[in-house]
Structure 1
Amino acid sequence: MTVTVEEKTRTNSKFKLVGPKEIGYNVKQVDVFLDRARSYFLNADTDGKAITSHDVRTASFDPARGGYNAQAVDAAMDRIEDEFVLREKELLIGAEGERAWMIKIGKTASLLRARLHRPDGERFRRPTRKNIQSYNTDDVDVLCRELLTYIEDNGELSVDVVRRAIFAPVKGAEGYEESQVDAFLDRVVELMATIDIAADK
């Protein structure tokens, strides 16, 4: 359901708002999530549920007329995710040592490589329902080949390319099952964000 942002919100917002008749992100949902994330990150929210980089990466907001500009919010969420990834790395190293962190990266990379090495058209499941929307296999396979080069040959690929990847829609078994592709790319982003942080240090 699409809601409309109240006029008083437009004068006290954290992000740029789209026009009153345009569609953006629900302001209240974005503000609530970011406030929770900030409180948890600053250790101010000791009673609330823990928030992880995965929670930031997979957060979604309802559409709203006159809401927050989606690109501005997405960019901020990417930066926040990177901060959470860095802290999770530091906490793991502090508790178990740098070797534990390297082992975690190695295990994730190994799992991802196994799927990336599958032949084109066979990397993910095909939906069993005929009319359900799926992802174009060629589009997904192109990105997978780029990811394999990135992981094995130090290829140049930005994590933001994966975060913003869009695949043409097809129907049913003509394409890959969306949920499985999305879950896989979620792990890819986690790995790439960790590698980028390591490279910057």
Structure 2
Amino acid sequence: MTVTVEETIRTNSKFKLVGPKDIGYNVKQVDVFLDRARAYFLNSDTSGKAITSLDVRVASFDPARGGYNAQAVDAAMDRIEDEFVLREKELLIGAEGEKAWMIKIGKTATVLRARLHRPEGERFRRPSRKSVQSYNIADVDLLCHELLTYIEDNGELSVDIVRRSVFAPAKGPEGYEESQVDAFLDRVVELMAAIDTPTEK
């Protein structure tokens, strides 16, 4: 359901707003999530549920006419996720040492590498229903090649490229199952953010 942003909200916005008739992100939902994340990060919210980098990565907002510019919000969410990754890294190293962090990274990389080494067209499940939308196999496999180079040969690949990856649509078993690919890329982003984020600023 698409709602319209109230004028009182438009005058006190945290991000650039799209035009009154254009579609953006629901302002209230974005503000509530960011306020909660900020409070937790600053340790001022001890009563609510803990927020992790994964929560930031998978957060989604309803469409709204005249809402926040999606690109501006997405960019901010990426920066916030990186901050949470850094915090989680520092906490683990502080509690268990850098070796524990390296072990965690190594385990994640091993799991991801195993799937990346699967044959072309066999890296992910195919939907059983012919009518369901899926991802173009060639597009996904191309990204997998780039990820394998990044993991095994120190290839240059920005985590933001993976975050913003878009694949051509396919139908049913002609493509890869979207949910499985999305879940895999979430783990990839988690790994890349951890590797590329320094322990200290």
The TM-score normalised by the length of structure 1 is 0.98
- 1:76 matched to which residue of 2? 76
> Aligned-pair distance for 1:199?
8.4
Determine if contact 2:86/2:199 at 8 Å carries over to the other structure.
no
- 1:104 matched to which residue of 2? 104
Displaced runs of 4 or more, over 2 A: 198-201
- Following the alignment from structure 2 to structure 1, what is the Cα–Cα distance between the partners of residues 19 and 82? 30
Residue 123 in 1 paired to residue 126 in 2?
A: no
- 1:134 matched to which residue of 2? 134
State how many pairs are aligned: 201
- 1:10 matched to which residue of 2? 10
- 2:36 matched to which residue of 1? 36
- Following the alignment from structure 1 to structure 2, what is the Cα–Cα distance between the partners of residues 120 and 3? 43
- 1:152 matched to which residue of 2? 152
> Aligned-pair distance for 1:161?
0.2
SS at match of 1:68: coil
Equivalent runs, 1:153-168 vs 2, <5 Å: 153-168=153-168
Residue 91 in 1 paired to residue 94 in 2?
A: no
> Aligned-pair distance for 1:198?
3.5
Q: What RMSD over aligned residues (CA atoms) do the two structures have, in Å? A: 1.0
SS at match of 2:8: helix
Please list every run of 5 or more consecutive structure 2 residues that lacks an aligned counterpart in the other structure.
Answer: none
- Following the alignment from structure 2 to structure 1, what is the Cα–Cα distance between the partners of residues 179 and 60? 15
- Following the alignment from structure 1 to structure 2, what is the Cα–Cα distance between the partners of residues 198 and 76? 19
- Following the alignment from structure 1 to structure 2, what is the Cα–Cα distance between the partners of residues 138 and 200? 39
What is the one-letter code of the residue matched to 2:94? G
SS at match of 1:198: coil
SS at match of 1:157: coil
- 1:55 matched to which residue of 2? 55
What is the one-letter code of the residue matched to 1:172? G
Deviations along 1:69-107, whole A, 9 cap, x unmatched? 000000000000000000000000111111000000000
- Following the alignment from structure 1 to structure 2, what is the Cα–Cα distance between the partners of residues 99 and 195? 14
What is the one-letter code of the residue matched to 2:12? N
Identity value in percent: 86
What is the one-letter code of the residue matched to 1:140? V
What is the one-letter code of the residue matched to 2:178? E
The TM-score normalised by the length of structure 2 is 0.98
- Following the alignment from structure 1 to structure 2, what is the Cα–Cα distance between the partners of residues 136 and 50? 36
SS at match of 2:184: helix
